[in-house]
């Protein structure tokens, strides 16, 4: 290995410039570790796909160098792609908390994957996990799910702290608070760089505690007269369980609708998080449908307007396992709109409004939710403990990164922004002191040496997104999605033509069928004209009335039909040509 290959660097494969698909690769002298492996959810750019995962060609190309994968917590944007990308880890150990392990095991089971013995490693705090040139420690932080952690990643170049998702909350569910004492100890040891959560950094206020939200929503549940439908992220089961307990105190039976929440309930029972007070109060949807309104509390999944989720279906007036919305019901949406999901959520809210349901959400009542991410004062609080040389914004969109960098600069820290497809080199062997160290200490750099600054490698590595599409992974292949979008926007026309097998003569006119293009009955004249023009185009090319080149004939038919529908409908549909031998 040459000196040029020796460095401490970071390469983002996801989570930079987007909310979700979090995946960071750290490189120390050629040894690689991966932090998190998340998904995001597709938009109109990828119609019909299920989830979006990071492009991991880099990992496949450097499989022998991967020493370990470290999972910070069990939210989908940090853990959801583990099963899909399991083979890309090349057998490297995956370190995770007990809850994260249960989630991973469930995902692997669904995909029929059996991990190797010892490949899943359960982590505890204050332990140092060695992975090649790295030593990694898990540090508890508060977040909107139990067992969330920051990582202290030690190397001979210095220490990186990868914050994961965090906040400061002295009244956090299940008692997990951010371990500020340990963070301060690590700060005293010296921190080269912090890779910090940027999601809520534009909020000028501290994020705040979970306790007031639970108190406020509890009051709403207590005062409600009809049935109560409560919606929160399924992984935020600390909040859900607390509100469910309040419901039972008001004599309401509790129904959990949704596969994901029931998975987390199963996990919570294994790990001892399940409140025993709920044991005799949980019922199924069919039983809830038959109870008086004032005796029913329903947890409904689908806070982000996901198609098919129980909350979305209920908002359309659908019957969900015997439950159907009616006037006098109350829906409490205790969640935040994730950027990109606004349209679906508003549709759900409007659907409930049209049904005469009392709908309470962050639009009308901000007190129903508090973020699990740090506001600007919280970010400053984190850096006050760690005192890093560099601040590297992660987990967010460009505007958030700019705000995070501005905050760091104002607090006296040097920001370093990541660039997709390029490594950010943080340290090299026998480097001169960093510019920031020189400026803070007043010491001069060694004669002839330029003080070091983090820089991006010129070489560009593969990055981007792959799409889980049913049983397929669409890897860097825009063709299928391009065709799918074209079908959605431009429509489809299928042309069939009978041909005599022995002579190649075509028999009669072309037959046309369309989808999503026009009304074939009302606009029959456009169809007739299309058939006539296509026949003329064929006659001009195959003047003897015989098709001796079917590929050429298909091109002629497609070009003619696309030109015709462009003129008549302003659309160039996807054209499928079938030849029928007779």
pLDDT one-digit tens code per residue, 130-156: 999 999 999 999 999 999 999 999 999
Sign for the pseudo-dihedral over CA of 96, 102, 108, 113: positive
Given 350, 366, 382, which residue is the final one in a domain?
366
- Whole-number pLDDT of residue 173: 72
Residues 52 and 127 in one domain: yes
pLDDT of residue 442 exceeding 50:
no
User: Confidence band (pLDDT; 50, 70, 90) for 307?
Assistant: confident
Kindly report which listed range (209-213, 289-293, 544-548) carries the lowest average pLDDT score: 544-548
| Judgement on whether residues 423 and 515 belong to the same structural domain of the protein | no
Last residue of a domain, one of 366, 400, 415: 366
Q: Counting every residue, how long is the chain?
A: 582
Cα separations in angstroms, 96 against 231, 292, 459, 577, 581: 28, 44, 32, 53, 60
| Among 338, 455, 440, residue whose Cα is nearest residue 392 | 455
Distance in angstroms between the alpha carbons of the first and the last residue of the chain: 67
Q: Is the pLDDT higher at 61 or at 488?
A: 61
Average pLDDT, rounded, for the chain: 91
Coil, helix or strand at residue 13: strand
Residue 170 belongs to domain with CATH number = 3.60.15.10
- pLDDT for residue 217: 96
The verdict on residue 26 lying in a domain is: yes
Q: What angle do CA 317, 323, 328 make, to 5 degrees?
A: 70
Same domain membership, residue 253 and residue 344: yes
Q: Which residue has the tokens 């990868």?
A: 162
At which of 430, 446, 474 does a domain end? 474
Residues 6+ apart with CB under 8 A from 466: 52, 53, 54, 55, 56, 473, 474, 475, 476
Q: Contact 84/473 with Cβ under 8 angstroms?
A: yes
- For 197-218, what is the mean pLDDT? 95
Neighbours of 578 (CB within 10 A): 13
389 with 161: CB under 8 angstroms?
no
What are the backbone dihedrals phi and psi of residue 233, each rounded to the nearest 5 degrees, phi first? -65, 135
Distance of CA 9 to the CA centre of its chain: 24
Number of domains in the chain: 3
* pLDDT at residue 380 tops 90: yes
CATH value at residue 501: 3.10.20.580
The pLDDT value given to residue 42: 76
Q: Domain for residue 481, yes or no?
A: no
Please tell me the distance from the alpha carbon of residue 12 to that of residue 56, in angstroms, as a whole number. 11
Residues 48 and 94 reside in one and the same domain: yes
Burial of 73-90, coded b for 16+ CB within 10 Å and e otherwise, reads bbbbbbbbbbbbbbebbe
On the CB side of 91, CA atoms within 13 Å amount to 3
- Look at residue 480 and tell me if it is in a domain: no
**Rounded distance, CA 397 to CA 414, Å?**
19
Closest residue by Cα to residue 172 from 236, 92, 80, 220:
236
Are the CB atoms for 285 and 322 separated by under 8 Å? yes
Q: The dihedral of CA 539, 542, 546, 551: what is its sign?
A: negative
Tell me, yes or no, whether 43 and 123 share the same domain: yes
Please spell the DSSP secondary structure of 417-455, one letter per residue.
---TTS-EEEE-TTPPPBHHHHHHH-PPPPTTPPPB--E
- Across 199-213, 250-264, 497-511, least confident range: 497-511
If pLDDT is split at 50, 70 and 90, which confidence band does 23 have? very high
43-57, 294-308, 340-354: least confidently modelled range: 43-57
pTM of the model: 0.87
Whole-number pLDDT of residue 48: 73
Range of the domain at 293: 211-366
Q: Note whether residue 482 is domain-resident.
A: no
The region of weakest confidence among 227-236, 369-378, 498-507 is: 498-507
Are 245 and 118 found together in one domain?
no
Q: What percent of the chain has pLDDT over 90?
A: 77
Q: 285 and 228 share a domain?
A: yes
User: Out of 115-124, 214-223, 487-496, which region has the weakest mean confidence (pLDDT)?
Assistant: 487-496
Structure confidence at residue 3 as a pLDDT band (50, 70, 90): very low
Q: Report DSSP state, residue 505.
A: B
Is the pLDDT reported for residue 316 higher than 70? yes
Residue 281's CATH number: 3.40.50.10710
Cα distances (Å, whole numbers) of residue 475 to 421, 459, 466, 472: 16, 22, 5, 9
Question: According to DSSP H, which parts of 146-210 are helical?
Answer: 180-189
Same domain (yes/no): 151, 264: no
Q: In the prediction, which pLDDT does 51 show?
A: 85
Find out whether 286 and 246 touch, Cβ atoms under 8 Å: no
Do 234 and 356 belong together in one domain? yes
Domain identity same for 134 and 221: no
Domain-embedded: residue 128: yes
What CA–CA distance (Å, rounded) separates 16 from 376?
Answer: 19
Domain membership of residue 486 (yes or no) is no
The residue to which tokens 């979008």 are assigned: 485
Do 388 and 358 fall into the same domain?
no
pLDDT tier for residue 467 given thresholds of 50, 70 and 90: confident
Is residue 483 domain-resident? no
Q: How far apart are CA 251 and CA 135, in angstroms?
A: 51
H/E element holding 238? Answer: helix 237-249
* pLDDT at site 480: 79
If asked whether residues 396 and 337 sit together in one domain, one would say no
Q: Establish if 484 belongs to a structural domain.
A: no
From CA 23, how far away is CA 242, in angstroms rounded? 32
Q: What is the predicted pLDDT for the residue at 1?
A: 41
């Amino acid at each position: 290995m040459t000196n040029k290959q020796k460095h401490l660097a970071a390469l983002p494969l996801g989570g930079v410039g987007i909310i979700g698909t979090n995946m960071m690769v750290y490189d120390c002298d050629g040894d690689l570790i991966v932090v998190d492996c998340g998904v995001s959810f597709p938009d109109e750019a990828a119609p019909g796909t299920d989830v979006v995962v990071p492009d991991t060609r880099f990992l496949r190309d450097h499989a022998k160098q991967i020493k370990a994968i470290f999972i910070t917590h069990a939210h989908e944007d940090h853990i959801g792609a583990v099963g899909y990308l399991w083979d890309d880890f090349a057998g490297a150990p995956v370190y995770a908390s007990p809850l994260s392990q249960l989630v991973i095991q469930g995902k692997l089971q669904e995909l029929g994957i059996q991990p190797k013995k010892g490949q899943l490693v359960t982590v505890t705090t204050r332990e140092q996990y060695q992975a090649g040139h790295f030593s990694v420690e898990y540090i508890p932080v508060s977040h909107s799910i139990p067992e969330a952690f920051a990582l202290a990643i030690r190397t001979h170049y210095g220490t990186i702290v990868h914050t994961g998702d965090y906040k400061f909350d002295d009244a956090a569910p299940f008692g997990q608070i951010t371990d500020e004492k340990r963070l301060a100890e690590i700060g005293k040891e010296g921190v080269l760089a912090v890779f910090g959560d940027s999601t809520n950094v534009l909020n000028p206020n501290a994020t705040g505690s979970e306790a007031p939200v639970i108190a406020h929503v509890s009051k709403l549940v207590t005062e409600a007269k009809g049935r109560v439908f409560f919606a929160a992220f399924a992984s935020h089961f600390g909040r859900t369980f607390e509100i469910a307990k309040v419901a039972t105190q008001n004599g309401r039976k509790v129904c959990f609708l949704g596969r994901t929440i029931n998975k987390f309930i199963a996990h919570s029972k294994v790990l001892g998080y399940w409140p025993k007070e709920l044991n005799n109060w949980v019922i199924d949807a069919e039983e809830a449908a038959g109870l008086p309104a004032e005796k029913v509390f329903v947890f409904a999944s689908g806070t982000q307007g996901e198609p098919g989720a129980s909350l979305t279906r209920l908002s359309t007036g659908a019957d969900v396992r015997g439950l159907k919305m009616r006037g006098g019901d109350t829906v409490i949406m205790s969640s935040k709109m994730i950027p990109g999901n606004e349209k679906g959520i508003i549709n759900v809210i409007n659907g409930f409004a049209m049904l005469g349901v009392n709908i309470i959400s962050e639009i009308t009542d901000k007190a129903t939710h508090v973020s699990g991410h740090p506001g600007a004062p919280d970010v400053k609080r984190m850096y006050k403990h760690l005192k890093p040389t560099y601040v590297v914004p992660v987990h967010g969109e460009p505007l958030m990164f700019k705000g995070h960098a501005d905050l760091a600069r104002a607090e006296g820290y040097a920001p370093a922004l990541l660039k997709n497809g390029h490594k950010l080199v943080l340290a090299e062997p026998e480097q001169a002191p960093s510019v920031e160290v020189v400026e803070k200490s007043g010491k001069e750099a060694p004669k002839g040496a330029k003080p070091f600054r983090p820089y991006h490698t010129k070489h560009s590595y593969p990055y981007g997104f792959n799409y889980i599409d049913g049983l397929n992974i669409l890897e860097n292949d825009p063709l299928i999605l391009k065709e799918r979008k074209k079908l959605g926007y431009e429509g489809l026309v299928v042309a069939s033509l009978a041909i005599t097998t022995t002579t190649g003569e075509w028999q009669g006119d072309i037959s046309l069928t369309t989808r999503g293009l026009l009304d074939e009955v009302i606009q029959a004249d456009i169809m007739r004209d299309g058939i006539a023009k296509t026949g003329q185009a064929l006659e001009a090319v195959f003047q003897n009335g015989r098709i001796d080149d079917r590929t050429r004939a298909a091109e002629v038919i497609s070009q003619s039909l696309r030109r015709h529908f462009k003129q008549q409908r302003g659309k160039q549909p996807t054209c499928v040509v079938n030849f029928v031998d007779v």
